[in-house]
């Protein structure tokens, strides 16, 4: 028996599907995958090259593709899988999920999970159609409108607002147009004031967990990565998700399966990754185990949509129009530092002009290095 080691991220959306896929794959092939899991913050911030030496299969965030190419910590999947397999997976991927793992002419990951920033509301609330309506609802709810603003999500929300406003983030040597950037920060500042101070430490699951409790402490989350988990009977009070206002520019999230260059069985690891990312496993095992598929076939399945409170149909437009973050080697470090800058600026109620100038300077410095 071939034994593989896998590293995922510590949430039911990843744990359940990856363990279920491992069980099914072992029954089919006699290849085992033993999973370990790291925190969501580590998934988004920890350098891949620091951990891939201990694993065969790794769940990655697409902005790390440039680091993978630069450090050689992953094996390109186009070296391990046939062109036909990759074309089939690309054709079935939802939105830009598959192409987000392409960098430097190589394919570094497969879209096993798909997500972008969306809106979440409690039963009885309706997702606002514009940011003006969003700000009005946040103010009216008097402390029960909460946006997760830990560093990774502060920068994600800023970029969603900028991209949705046609600010063309990360282009022409600037983080975005100055007027757009100042507007985006001002919107975030008003959303921050509407929620508790603890939100500066919260990840999306922290806020969505509170939204789906019956104590009514949270009724509206203006910006969060979508989590199908919280729209199902797995939680006390399933919430509703909806598209971001305008439906374009939502920052692409999700997760992909990649193969460590340290693996002693890279083709076995790639075969597992391709199977787990394929339409059949995605629609049955992944979706059926609490996962959030990267497969278009799964997202278009009416039965799956009904089982999760119309999560897929309600957020599909945002995912199809999502903005893909740069995958250059310098981006992960910039994203982390920019998020810290924004969180501190929001907590300290700094002025939009001052904050944008600092953010843009940081972008120029890192992108030019």
User: Among residues of the chain, what percentage have pLDDT more than 70?
Assistant: 100
Q: Given this model, what pLDDT does residue 225 score?
A: 98
Tokens 């744990």, residue located:
15
CATH T-level fold of 117-250+330-368: D-Maltodextrin-Binding Protein; domain 2 (3.40.190)
CB atoms within 10 A of CB 213: 13
Same fold, 2-115+253-309 and 117-250+330-368: yes
Residues contacting residue 233 through CB under 8 Å, at least 6 positions apart: none
Q: What is the DSSP letter of 251?
A: B
Residue 206 has a pLDDT of 97
Q: What are phi and psi of 104, to 5 degrees?
A: 60, 30
What is the reported pLDDT for 167?
Answer: 74
CB 291 within 8 A of CB 311: no
CB distance 33 to 268 below 8 Å = no
Q: Which of 211, 203, 212 is nearest to 148 (CA)?
A: 203
pLDDT of residue 246: 87
What's the pLDDT score for residue 45?
A: 83
Q: Which pLDDT does position 40 carry in this prediction? A: 84
pTM for the predicted model, two decimal places: 0.95
List phi, psi (to 5°) of 358: -65, -40
Neighbours of 254 (CB within 10 A): 27
Q: Render pLDDT for 157-185 as a digit per residue (tens, 0 to 9).
A: 999 999 999 777 988 889 999 999 999 99
- What six digits make up the tokens of 256? 């992909």
Domain boundaries, the chain: 2-115+253-309, 117-250+330-368
pLDDT tens column, 246-304: 888 999 999 999 999 999 999 999 999 999 999 999 999 999 999 999 999 999 999 99
Size (the chain), residues: 369
Q: Which CATH architecture has domain 2-115+253-309?
A: 3-Layer(aba) Sandwich (3.40)
What pLDDT score does 247 carry?
A: 82
**pLDDT tens, the chain, 369 aa long:** 799 999 999 999 999 999 999 999 999 999 999 999 999 888 888 889 998 999 999 999 999 999 999 999 999 999 999 999 999 999 999 999 999 999 999 999 999 999 999 999 999 999 999 999 999 999 999 899 999 999 999 999 999 999 999 777 988 889 999 999 999 999 999 999 999 999 999 999 999 999 999 999 999 999 999 999 999 999 999 999 999 998 889 999 999 999 999 999 999 999 999 999 999 999 999 999 999 999 999 999 999 999 999 999 999 999 999 999 999 999 999 999 999 999 999 999 999 999 999 999 999 999 997
End-to-end CA distance of the chain: 47
């Amino acid at each position: 028996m071939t034994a593989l080691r896998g590293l995922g991220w510590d949430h039911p959306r990843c744990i359940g599907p990856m363990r279920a896929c491992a069980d099914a794959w072992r029954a089919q092939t006699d290849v085992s995958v033993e999973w370990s899991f790291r925190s969501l913050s580590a998934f988004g911030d920890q350098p891949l090259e620091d951990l891939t030496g201990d694993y065969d299969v790794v769940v990655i965030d697409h902005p790390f593709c440039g680091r993978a190419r630069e450090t050689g910590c992953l094996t390109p999947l186009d070296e391990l899988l046939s062109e036909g397999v990759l074309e089939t997976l690309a054709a079935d991927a939802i939105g830009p999920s598959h192409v987000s793992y392409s960098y430097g002419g190589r394919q570094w990951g497969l879209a096993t999970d798909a997500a972008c920033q969306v809106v979440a509301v409690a039963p009885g609330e309706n997702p606002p159609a514009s940011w003006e309506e969003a700000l009005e609802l946040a103010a009216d709810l008097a402390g029960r409108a909460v946006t997760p603003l830990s560093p990774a999500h502060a920068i994600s929300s800023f970029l969603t607002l900028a991209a949705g406003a046609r600010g063309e983030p990360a282009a022409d040597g600037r983080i975005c147009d100055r007027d757009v950037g100042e507007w985006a920060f001002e919107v975030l500042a008003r959303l921050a004031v509407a929620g508790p101070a603890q939100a500066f430490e919260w990840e999306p699951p922290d806020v969505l967990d509170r939204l789906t409790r019956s104590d009514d402490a949270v009724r509206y989350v203006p910006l969060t990565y979508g989590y199908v988990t919280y729209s199902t009977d797995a939680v006390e009070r399933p919430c509703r998700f909806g598209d971001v206002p305008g439906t374009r520019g939502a920052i692409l999230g999700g997760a992909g399966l990649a193969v460590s260059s340290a693996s002693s069985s890279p083709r076995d690891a790639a075969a597992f990754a391709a199977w787990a990312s394929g339409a059949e496993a995605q629609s049955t095992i992944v979706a059926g185990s609490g996962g959030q598929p990267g497969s278009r076939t799964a997202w278009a399945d009416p039965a799956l949509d009904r089982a999760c409170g119309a999560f897929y149909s309600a957020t599909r437009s945002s995912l199809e129009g999502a903005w893909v973050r740069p995958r250059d080697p310098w981006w992960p470090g910039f994203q982390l530092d920019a998020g810290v800058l924004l969180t501190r600026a929001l907590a300290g109620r700094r002025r939009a002009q001052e904050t944008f100038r600092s953010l843009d300077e940081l972008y120029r410095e890192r992108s030019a290095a």
